Structure 1
Amino acid sequence: MSSSGAIRGGRGRGGGAGWGDGGGGRGGRGGGSGGGGGGGGGGRGRGAYYKALYGGGGGGGNPKRARTEADDSPTFSSGSRTPTGTWKERPSTDLRDFLASREGASYPAYKDLLGQSWNFPSFSSSSPSTSPTWKLRADSVQSDPYAPPSKFRIWVPHSVSSIPREMWERRSPSKFRMIALADFFLRALVQSFSKASSHWEAYIRSGGGGGGGGGGGWGSNWSSGKGGQLEIDAPGQQVLDRSALRFDAEGIEARFRIGLPARGRSVLGKQAYHLLATIIPTAVQDALQYALEKEKMLWDYVAALEDSYALTSHLNNQNLVAFVANGSILPRASGASDQPMSTEGAVEFVSPSSLETEVRLPHGGVVKGMGLRKGSLTVLIGGGFHGKSTLLEALSYGSYVHVPGDGRELVRTSDSTVLIQSEDGRCVNNVDISPFIKNLPSGKSTSAFSTTNASGSTSCSASLVEAVELGSELILIDEDTTAANWLQREQAMSQLVPNEPISPFVDHVRELLVADGRVEGRSVVIVCGSSTYFLQHADHVLLLDGYRIKDVTQEAHKLFPRSKEVSAQPFPITSRSIDLSSFPRSDGRNKGTFEVPRSTRVLRIRDDRRTPPEEEPAQTQTQPQDEDLSLQLSRCVPQLVHPSQARAIAAILNQLPLRAAEWTTSGSSSGSVSLKVLVDRVDAILEGDGGVENLQFPRGGAVEGDLARPRKVDLGAVINRLRVVQMK
């Protein structure tokens, strides 16, 4: 990974000493700007403020360097993950005078931090002038204290952190080793930032060291002070390829946000120096400095993650689609928490002997557990609250590696696992749902069906066909969250209502298991709490009783004899093309953006195009409101486990129109490409050496620090639900 070269280079003088308890000499300047110690509040009208804000006045703000959030939309990289750019290398000791000279200036003066790379001395060096350095730089600076915090990054070479090479070269290193190491240090940095925030609050309560705009510290007037917050993309229970922290053979690069301190709208240079030169370095050293006492903890962590990751290859080698290790803790602490239930109240998973298999892990040795083979139908039955949906949920997240202690570390499923649920109101875009729905009263064909307001059964039909189109190998269904009339139909009802357009899923489930003419293709796991329709088709019937699992396949088939049909005709796979030119884009004419507000999983879509299809009557030529275009991803793509994945999908969607020429189907001039080919190509980019780093700013600089790699089936699921694109 070469992007860290953007903030590497030269060795500067060490330093970083505090401003000094008596260093308030620069504070009077702030009082002059604000009038009597307010720091930028008095004596200025709105015109003067906006002139300073956007005109570069008041302390050297540089408007040419100002970037909007729209400018920061990532793009696909074809080379190194971050351009080097031009950055002035400066020792951290210069930071004191740099910020002191801007004390009390209007807030845009902070933009002078752009283009500067501040070199801090090695964590344990006794000779700062000759020691290796680590670097801090600003990628973007907020124009106002009320705007989103400024984006910073650090680069810490291994010569500073003292992490030995054997940590990433030991025992068959792999690309995943770097992801695992990055995850370990990211979690350490999150904890250190939490401590740093407490230290900052204590500093403020103590008066902030005095000075700061001509009127004492913030301790006596906290309400007038802004900034100081530290934000970094905190991971959840899953280990993802993230942009928040990157680990490679040369060092560690981390990205985060800092709210630069202000009183009113004036710079608090002294407090900013304490934040950047004391609080941040202390947190960085605490998290990233290697020590012998950390070695076992670090290696145990990496080994556990690699064991989990290795299960994927074992699934393929043993013709399995899912594996659940004995001893796994599947229940969660609550319905609103992804944390494991306490071991005191949790029942460990134990495989029924009929399905027990074993795998040999690279670090953990032989592990036994339940294996579900490819091409099988498994029905989970049992009473309410006995663990059926809990097991299904664990399988739905089995595509991800989980952190040690989660309880699901050795639960693995195919990377293309898809959970099918009812989604009343979703849009459907030219999907062939005829295997399930046909002969509509309106006479409308369902072989290329579209609607902006699907019913429960229609949404289930479309979601399943789309999952098959995207190559899903494991389909998960829970009758509680699926349309009942789509799953099965009673014979008596068929007699009373002979003209039913819906052909239930149970009539096609065996067809679904056939892929490429082999009865070992896709697999289905379905939860049935009351229905018996699937029992006669099942390869395995598993009873959950108090979270303990028992194979009752033989008993079930005595009551419901096994059906003889195994269709030689596989479930039809349709392939649709997507018109990349139909994506909204920001090009001066067709304005459009995809964005995910921070801490949410809502994909907001802006589409300002006003040219309607020619066949629409003039009176219907209206554009849906933004809220009608938005997607609640936690509902429609429930297997996204972190908001950062949603943000990465938004970044991908924003760039797809720019790649239309490259990804157009050969020989076509329409700018169309197969949806399956499209998601495969995007996934190949993310699978490259840079990983999620291959999402990169179009104008240079660093990628966002809050992106995480999504699964390709989830990217496809989002595209399938967009109301602003055209499929055929």
Structure 2
Amino acid sequence: MDDAGRWDEAIGSFLHSYTGDGTQIDSSRVQPGITAFLVRSFDGAALQFSFPVVVQRNLPAEIALDPAGADGAAATLIERVKGQAESVPALGPLYGKGVPGSQRYRDTIEPYTVIHSDETLASHLWKADARNFCDCEGIHVILRGAMPCPDGDGRRQVADALGGLADAVGTIVEKTPARVVDASWLASLDQKRLRRGLRERGLVAFVADGSKLARTLTHHRCFFRVAGPKTGVNIPFCCPVELDPVELGLPASGGTVTGLGIRQREVLAIAGSNAQGKSTFLEGILAGRDDHAPHDGRELVVTARGACTAESTTMGLAGADISMFFSTLPPGVSGTVRSVHGMGSGSMTMAWQVQSAIARHAPLLIIDEDRAAPNLLVKSCLQKEEITPLSEILFHDRTKMGDTALVFAACAMDTLIARADRIMVLDRHEASAIDTGEFRRMLAETLRKTADGLEK
């Protein structure tokens, strides 16, 4: 028997013979080569494995809450296992303990504070999802990792290691008090119900007072939506009184929470100098599409499904409509302004993204000055008449925004900020507000002084 056949036989034998005390192979979810496998690593130093188990504990009956929040319980239990992985020897295979270069396997025990996302985020991490969940049958998880490749036959050694891992996971799950998972279950329900109730409150997003939006990126979590809370200084958000904070009831856990409500069809400017937290605030709003665990810092930030961004990038366009901004096409592309074909510039591509969001009735569009095409946002004295920037559209024909609310971050684009309905200012990551009328007067005076200086 060749090497691959030996390990195929070993995992098959283990799947048929393993019986733990309250932990079983999740037979209905065994998919050979996908959820169940045992293979030698490319360097030959390790055996990589995966197999599904179910811990027979009926948490929904214990907690007696809406099953929609069960993903919070699954997330908490997985994090409990991760937290003990390096102190419980039997859990060593989860992160390749003893394998040369075991850092490559540590993604399995990387902490994760997102309970649920409708999108495919962090698929390389062990987390609550369609394959790791809890229901009335128990807690279903896929156990994967690596172990040192044994000498000789090794099949008994492998079976003992995999069985010990399953037993250790089952013990942690069984001994975790219901009150520990209750908080995450309620947090999941609160976020789902708050998000569902945004429309009837006339909102597209809500950022609660006390939210901590700054993130710490790691090797395995290098995207803001999956990154954990920032270590060290992480200033909590507090909605300025001038922005009329809203108060929402927490549907599952009870009580109330106050914060910034972003209104349907409004234009909200997030203004401030460089490196004051503007982009971080926008990222927090975007992350509100996901459900977060308690203590993530974003567990009371909720954003309507369908929120999107528009950014400057060069890409091929095929039938793109940019007529909201362009009245004629520049050289180098073909078609019409309602159906552009060819390689689009940064501003053309961003124009198409904005129009696409409005056409599909996206509840919220987010634009960050740092990633935008400036010539699509504000007017320049060199700009030709066939281009109408966003600041002019907001001033002269606001109806073109349709049902879509706009939140943008800006520092240098004063003429765009002046067209906002509300202006929030971030200074040292703390929020304040400025009246739009006052800002426009300040801007007008600044522009007059600038003009006077240019004419001297």
TM-score (norm 1): 0.51
| Selected match of 2:169 from 258, 279, 283 | 283
Q: Distance in 2 between matches of 1:503 and 1:471?
A: 21
- Quick one: structure 1 residues 189 and 514, their matched pair in 2 at CA, closer, same or farther if it must change by over 3 Å? farther
| Selected match of 1:237 from 113, 122, 147 | 113
SS in 2 for 1:384: coil
SS in 1 for 2:197: helix
2:149 paired residue number: 262
Q: Please list, as runs of the form range in 1=range in 2, the aligned pairs for 1:701-720 lying within 5 A after superposition.
A: none
- 1:289 Cα shift? 0.9
| Selected match of 1:534 from 416, 441, 449 | 416
- 1:295 Cα shift? 2.5
- 1:311 Cα shift? 1.8
2:275 paired residue number: 385
Q: Is the 8 A contact 1:119 1:136 kept in 2?
A: no
> Structure 2: which amino acid aligns with 1:184?
T
SS in 2 for 1:270: helix
Q: Distance in 1 between matches of 2:143 and 2:91?
A: 18
SS in 1 for 2:336: coil
The one-character-per-residue Cα deviations of 1:100-130 (angstroms, maximum 9, x if unpaired) are xxxxxx341222233843342325xxxxxxx
Q: Distance in 2 between matches of 1:188 and 1:353?
A: 40
1:522 paired residue number: 404
> Structure 2: which amino acid aligns with 1:319?
G
- 1:365 Cα shift? 0.5
- 1:361 Cα shift? 0.6
Q: Distance in 2 between matches of 1:319 and 1:188?
A: 38
Residues 1:317 and 2:216 are matched in the alignment: no
Q: Distance in 1 between matches of 2:170 and 2:248?
A: 39
Q: Is the 8 A contact 2:73 2:182 kept in 1?
A: no
- Quick one: structure 1 residues 153 and 371, their matched pair in 2 at CA, closer, same or farther if it must change by over 3 Å? same
2:120 paired residue number: none
SS in 2 for 1:534: helix
> Structure 1: which amino acid aligns with 2:323?
S
1:91 paired residue number: none
> Structure 2: which amino acid aligns with 1:479?
E
2:346 paired residue number: 456
1:247 paired residue number: 134
> Structure 2: which amino acid aligns with 1:430?
G
The one-character-per-residue Cα deviations of 1:299-331 (angstroms, maximum 9, x if unpaired) are 122222322332213322210112111122223
1:186 paired residue number: 78
SS in 2 for 1:281: helix
> Structure 1: which amino acid aligns with 2:411?
G
| Selected match of 2:187 from 282, 300, 304 | 304
2:6 paired residue number: 109
Q: Is the 8 A contact 2:362 2:403 kept in 1?
A: no
- Quick one: structure 1 residues 352 and 191, their matched pair in 2 at CA, closer, same or farther if it must change by over 3 Å? same
- Quick one: structure 1 residues 409 and 199, their matched pair in 2 at CA, closer, same or farther if it must change by over 3 Å? closer
Q: Which moved more, 1:462-471 or 1:408-417?
A: 462-471
Q: Is the 8 A contact 2:114 2:292 kept in 1?
A: yes
Q: Which runs of 5+ in 2 are unaligned?
A: 118-128, 445-456
> Structure 2: which amino acid aligns with 1:450?
H
- 1:543 Cα shift? 1.7
> Structure 2: which amino acid aligns with 1:153?
P
| Selected match of 1:273 from 155, 159, 169 | 159
Computed over aligned residues only, the root mean square deviation of the Cα atoms, in angstroms, reads 3.4
- 1:473 Cα shift? 0.8
Q: Is the 8 A contact 1:535 1:560 kept in 2?
A: no
- 1:560 Cα shift? 5.8
Q: Distance in 2 between matches of 1:348 and 1:512?
A: 37
SS in 2 for 1:427: strand
Residues 1:447 and 2:338 are matched in the alignment: yes
1:345 paired residue number: 233
The one-character-per-residue Cα deviations of 1:535-555 (angstroms, maximum 9, x if unpaired) are 342110122222222221231
> Structure 2: which amino acid aligns with 1:382?
G
2:61 paired residue number: 165
Q: Sequence identity, in percent?
A: 22
- Quick one: structure 1 residues 260 and 349, their matched pair in 2 at CA, closer, same or farther if it must change by over 3 Å? closer
- Quick one: structure 1 residues 431 and 379, their matched pair in 2 at CA, closer, same or farther if it must change by over 3 Å? same
| Selected match of 1:330 from 195, 213, 220 | 213
Residues 1:504 and 2:394 are matched in the alignment: no
The count of residues paired between Structure 1 and Structure 2 equals: 408
Q: Is the 8 A contact 2:215 2:228 kept in 1?
A: yes
Q: Is the 8 A contact 1:312 1:412 kept in 2?
A: yes
- 1:479 Cα shift? 1.1
Q: Is the 8 A contact 1:192 1:283 kept in 2?
A: no
- Quick one: structure 1 residues 493 and 164, their matched pair in 2 at CA, closer, same or farther if it must change by over 3 Å? closer
